[in-house]
Amino acid sequence: MYHFTDIIKVFFMVSDIRLITPDENGLTDGEIPIFDMAGFSLRHLTKVVLSSLRCYMKYTQEAHPVRLKQIHVINCAPFLDRVLALLKPFMKNEVFKLIHFHAPGSDTLYKFVPLEMLPNEYGGKAGSIEVLKKDMMEKLNTY
């Protein structure tokens, strides 16, 4: 089941862990979040809690202590215009300019993000998503 607010909470928890652990992957250089829209449907949009979205966007743009370098959206859905219509009112123009969209099956992401930082499932060399998730869960349980 998809719970938008729970996803936001997990984002903040992972972000906090990354801020207090040693900088292994260049966090000081800035963040490059990647959002995978594979499997995302219009039904997911109905689950978005606008107050949580507003809080998330405000925090990431004004209070998050790490600079956003780029934002990538991969496996873009054909209804991406509706998603953007929902996000745009909460997004500063300079942040919107950081967004790069990548069609399903495209390799354009590799021009921006080193393969060493991407999971194997995305053509990278950072290990499997399962192992990366397990490592992060261990860190979350430690703190």
- Number of structural domains (the chain) is 1
CA distance readout (Å), 111 to 33, 77, 106, 107: 15, 21, 11, 8
The pLDDT value given to residue 116: 93
pLDDT tens by residue, 100-138? 999 999 999 999 999 999 999 999 999 999 999 999 999
pLDDT tens by residue, 2-51? 788 898 899 889 888 888 887 665 556 788 899 999 988 888 888 888 88
Domain interval for residue 8: 4-142
Q: How far apart are CA 29 and CA 67, in angstroms?
A: 8
The pLDDT value given to residue 38: 92
Q: Is 24 helix (H, G, I), strand (E, B) or coil?
A: coil
pLDDT tens by residue, 66-99? 888 999 999 998 888 888 888 888 899 999 999 9
CATH number of the domain encompassing residue 53:
3.40.525.10
The pLDDT value given to residue 60: 87
Give the global pTM: 0.85
71-74, strands of its sheet edge to edge: 34-36, 71-74, 99-102
Q: How far apart are CA 112 and CA 100, in angstroms?
A: 9
The pLDDT value given to residue 26: 55
How does DSSP classify residue 60?
Answer: I
Q: How far apart are CA 23 and CA 9, in angstroms?
A: 22
Task: Kindly tell me the burial class for residue 89, based on how many C-beta atoms sit within 10 Å of its own C-beta (0-12, 13-18, 19 or more).
Answer: exposed
